[in-house]
Structure 1
Amino acid sequence: MHNFNHAMLSRQGWCLFQNQDSLCAKVLKARYFPHCHLLEAEPREGISYSWRSILQGLELIKQGYIWRIGDGTNVKIWTGPWIQRAWSRQVITPKGSHLITHVSELMCPITGGWDEAMVRDTF
Structure 2
Amino acid sequence: MFFCKSNEKSCKALKEILRMYEDASGKMISCQKSAITFSKKTSQETKRKAMRILHIHQEGGTGKYLGLPEAFERKKKDLFSSVVDKIRQQAISWSSKLLSSAGKLVLLKSVLSSMPTYSMSCFKLPISLCKRIQSVLTRFWWDANPDKKKMCWIAWHKLTRGKREGGLGIRDIQDFTDAMLGKLSWRILTKPSCLLARILKGKYFPDQSFLECKTSEGGSHGWKGIVIGRNLLKEKIGKVIGNGATTKIWEDPWISTKEPKSGGSISCQESSKI
Residue equivalent to 2:261: 92
Q: Deviations over 1:78-108 (max 9, x none)?
A: 22111111xx4x32338752513212xxxxx
- Listed as ranges, the matches of 1:27-106 within 5 Å are 27-85=199-257, 88=258, 90-93=259-262, 96-98=266-268, 99-103=270-274
- Identity percentage of aligned residues: 32
Does 1 or 2 have the higher relative contact order (CA < 8 Å, sep 6+)?
1
**TM-score computed with the length of structure 1 as normaliser:** 0.74
1:10 aligns with 2:179: no
Amino acid at match of 2:240: R
1:4: how far off? Answer: 0.5
Residue equivalent to 1:118: none
Amino acid at match of 1:63: E
SS across alignment from 1:39: coil
Structure 2 spans left out of the alignment, 5+ residues: 1-172
Q: RMSD between aligned alpha carbons? A: 1.7
1:8: how far off? Answer: 0.3
Structure 1 spans left out of the alignment, 5+ residues: 104-123
Q: Deviations over 1:3-35 (max 9, x none)?
A: 010000000000001110111111100111111
Cα distance in 2 for residues equivalent to 1:8 and 1:92? 34
Cα distance in 2 for residues equivalent to 1:49 and 1:102? 36
Q: Deviations over 1:9-65 (max 9, x none)?
A: 000000001110111111100111111000111111100011001100001100001
The range that moved more, 31-40 or 91-100, is 91-100
1:75: how far off? Answer: 0.8
The range that moved more, 32-41 or 70-79, is 70-79
Cα distance in 2 for residues equivalent to 1:62 and 1:24? 20
Residue equivalent to 1:109: none
**TM-score computed with the length of structure 2 as normaliser:** 0.35
SS across alignment from 2:248: coil
SS across alignment from 1:41: coil
Aligned residues: 100
